[in-house]
Amino acid sequence: MEYVFQNEFRIYFIMQFVKGGELFKHLVQVKRFTEEQAKFFAAQVALGLSQLHTQKILYRDLKPENVLVGDDGYLLLADFGLAKLVQEGEIANSFCGTAEYLAPEMLIGNGHDYTVDWWALGILIYEMIVGIPPFFHRNKHKMYHFIKESKVNFPDPERHKISVSANAQDLILRLLDKNKKTRLGVNGIDEIMDHPWFKTIDREALMAKKIDPPYKPEVTADLAYFDQKLVNQSEGEIAESVVPAQSKALIKQGQHNFDGFSS
Judged by DSSP in three states, 214 sits in coil
Greatest alpha-carbon span in the chain: 66
**d(Cα 81, Cα 191) in Å, to the nearest integer?**
28
Determine the Cα–Cα distance for residues 110 and 68; give it in Å rounded to an integer: 31
Assign 6 to helix, strand or coil: strand
Comparing CA positions, the residue from 213, 214, 194, 216 lying closest to residue 203 is 194
Dihedral over Cα of 69, 72, 73, 76: its sign: negative
CA-based end-to-end distance of the chain: 15
H-run or E-run covering 76:
strand 75-77
117 catalytically annotated: no
Question: Burial of 134 by CB count in 10 Å (0-12 exposed, 13-18 middle, 19+ buried)?
Answer: buried
225 burial type by CB count under 10 A (0-12 exposed, 13-18 middle, 19+ buried): buried
Q: How many CA atoms lie within 13 A of 194 on its CB side?
A: 7
Residues making up the chain, counted from first to last: 263
Tell me which of 61, 113, 117, 177 is the catalytic residue: 61
Catalytic residues: 61
